[in-house]
Amino acid sequence: MHLRCSRGGLAVLLVLFVPALSAGLPIISEVFYDAEGSDDGRVFVELLGAPGTRLDGMWLEGVNGANGAVTVHVDLSGEIGPSGLYLLADRTGGGTSFVPGADQIANFDFQNGPDSVVLGSASGVLDAVGYGSFGVIEFFAGEGSPAPDAPSGTSLARLYADLDSGENSVDFAPAFPSPGSAPIWGVPEPGSAALLASGLALLGARGRSIRTVPRTSMSSGKRAPLERTRARRAAAPQSV
Ligand SMILES: [Ca+2]
Ligand SMILES: [Ca+2]
Ligand SMILES: [Ca+2]
């Protein structure tokens, strides 16, 4: 997508994009539910949140699209580190995980779908993503309409980890698995006024393209290799 706008169109563009930045964190940034071959020890969920956020009292659940039953429940623990990303990974029967850099390991595996993954706490659902093709009598527990099913070997990831429009079909796409790293829109979580000002400054200073907004990696602090990410996504395996 390559968006252009004139200075006169800035207000319209910002109205369109600023509300899409996630208002509440943490959110789900990536789900890997179907590794090629065995899923054991390879499944993971990546969350994006403010560094230092305590996750005790929050949970992740898998919801069966066929009947609405909860197939997975994992109580989260610990806190989100300086990178802003938190990684929950499946463990094998031997108690280890193939997922590098996991912040927490637990024994779980989501179904291949159509299903949903829900992040919640005592105050209710914080974020959710449903994936796959749901029939009219099946149970979608995501937001908006479902994201596409991620082919085996690929994960389901937000296009930008910090953009949450509340519409799974827009926010998520199949991607090369990237546990512990993510492209972000590049704007930290200031108040909306500061966000608006920074957006205006960037757009005004850099010209007409929204793609001039810097994108940084939460984990490395370097610019995220978005084009490389897209290339990897395009090259990702499409079937088992
Ligand atoms: Ca599999
Ligand atoms: Ca959401
Ligand atoms: Ca990731």
At residue 200, the pLDDT reads 32
Q: What is the C-alpha separation between 170 and 16, in angstroms, rounded?
A: 14
pLDDT at 23: 60
Q: Which residue in the block uniquely carries the two structure tokens 């199949």? A: 174
Q: What is the DSSP letter of 20?
A: G
Structural domain contains residue 217: no
What's the 143 CA to ligand 1 centre distance in angstroms? 25
Query: How far away, in angstroms, is 139 Cα from ligand 1 center?
Result: 22
Q: Report the separation in Å between the CA atom of 198 and the middle of ligand 3, taken as the mean of its atom positions.
A: 26
Q: What are the φ/ψ torsions at residue 162 (nearest 5 degrees)?
A: -105, 10
> Cα–Cα distance between 95 and 75 in angstroms, integer?
17
Rounded to the nearest angstrom, the distance between the alpha carbon of 174 and the centre of ligand 1 is 15
Query: Which pLDDT belongs to residue 195?
Result: 40
The answer to whether position 212 is within a domain reads: no
Ligand nearest, relative to CA of residue 154: 1
Rounded distance between C-alpha atoms, residue 13 and residue 3, angstroms: 9
4 phi and psi angles, rounded to 5 deg: -125, 150
- In a 3-state reduction of DSSP, which class is residue 165? coil
| Domain annotation covers residue 123 | yes
Give me the domain span that covers residue 67.
Answer: 24-177
Do the domain assignments include residue 208? no
pLDDT at 185: 86
- Compute the distance from residue 218 Cα to the ligand 3 centre, in Å: 10
Ligand with smallest separation from the Cα of 44: 3
- Mean pLDDT, the chain cut into blocks of 10 residues (240 residues total): 34 39 84 96 97 97 98 97 97 95 97 96 97 97 98 97 96 98 72 37 30 30 34 38
Asked if residue 69 is part of any domain, the answer here is yes
Which pair of structure tokens corresponds to residue 211?
Answer: 């793609």
In a domain, 100, yes or no: yes
Instruction: Supply the CATH number for residue 83's domain.
Output: 2.60.40
Question: Is the residue at 145 inside a domain?
Answer: yes
- Enumerate helices (H) and strands (E) in the chain, giving the number of each: 4, 10
How many structural domains are present in the chain? 1
Taking the centre of ligand 2 as the mean of its atom positions, its distance from the CA of residue 128, in whole angstroms, is 6
Residue 107 DSSP SS3: coil
- Is residue 11 domain-resident? no
Helix (H) or strand (E) holding 44: strand 44-48
